Amino acid sequence: MRFDKQVAIITGAASGIGRASSEILAGEGATVLAVDLDAARLDALIACIAGAGGRAEAMPADVTADGEAQRIAAHALARYGRIDVLVNAVGGSTIVANSARPIEQLSLDEWRKLVDFNLNGTFLFTAAVIPAMKQQRAGKIVNVSSIAGRGLSLVSSSAYATAKGGIIALTRKLSFELGPYGITCNAIAPGVTLTERVEPIWTARSDEQRQGVLANIPLGRVPRAEDQARVIAFLASRDADFVNGTTIDVAGGQR
């Protein structure tokens, strides 16, 4: 039980990579504070975790709203007395229509929405948990970036790539800031992943389009949320105590 008696805050927990991470950490002993805007899906997650014998609490919230991260961190400390893990899993490109458009076709409002959704929530929740982790002189922060943040996605917008590249840079910078307090900060960079949101888009593509993507993945398949969540769990565990400031590509060797 890698997370026995630990408290984990996971954003974007109601679906996709966030949900898979919540299930793994709760299944290995963590008490999970599951944060998401979708209250119905949160309730379904909590019921699933409880049915498997785990512990989780639904925390409906907009992660980009000022004050929400502080509220949830304060609740965690008041109820459980500590915060051991933060997983910043909120993100995605479908918050705007046709997000793969070139930069000259993006409006400023669309640019702001993509950056806000993918980067600002990570900043807010990280800033909210750091005081407690510093006092504990221990903690694990795991961010979700994307291979788009490395410039490796031809179908992602410049705004999405910029936000995800910002997460890679933030992760590295925080490793220097927080390492002296015993806190590690790492990230994963997924490729196309078959979550509830992405799978319908993937299946709507032609066979030729799908084969074009698969041709660039040496493992010959696209991952599911669980493939990403297993690496998140590793980075959040003691197995990764000496891994810091690293972004791991979880893309099957995609090039």
Instruction: Using alpha carbons, list the distances in angstroms from residue 165 to 66, 73, 145, 146, 168.
Output: 23, 26, 7, 8, 5
* Set 17, 160, 231, 252: catalytic member: 160
**Is the pLDDT confidence value at 63 over 90?**
yes
Report pLDDT digits (tens) over 137-195. Answer: 999 999 999 998 998 776 678 888 999 999 999 999 999 999 999 999 999 999 888 88
**Is the pLDDT confidence value at 40 over 80?**
yes
Q: How far apart are CA 112 and CA 118, in angstroms?
A: 10
- Catalytic residue check, 80: no
Strands (E), 70-182: 85-88, 139-144
Strands (E), the chain: 7-11, 31-36, 55-60, 85-88, 139-144, 183-190, 247-250
Strand partners, 240: none
> So where are the chain's domains?
7-193+226-249
pLDDT at res. 235: 98
**Is the pLDDT confidence value at 255 over 80?**
no
Strand pairing class (7-11; 31-36): parallel
Please give the share of the chain, as a percent, with pLDDT higher than 70: 99
pLDDT at res. 192: 83
Give burial (CB, 10 Å; 0-12/13-18/19+) of 37.
Answer: middle
Domain 7-193+226-249: assigned CATH number: 3.40.50.720
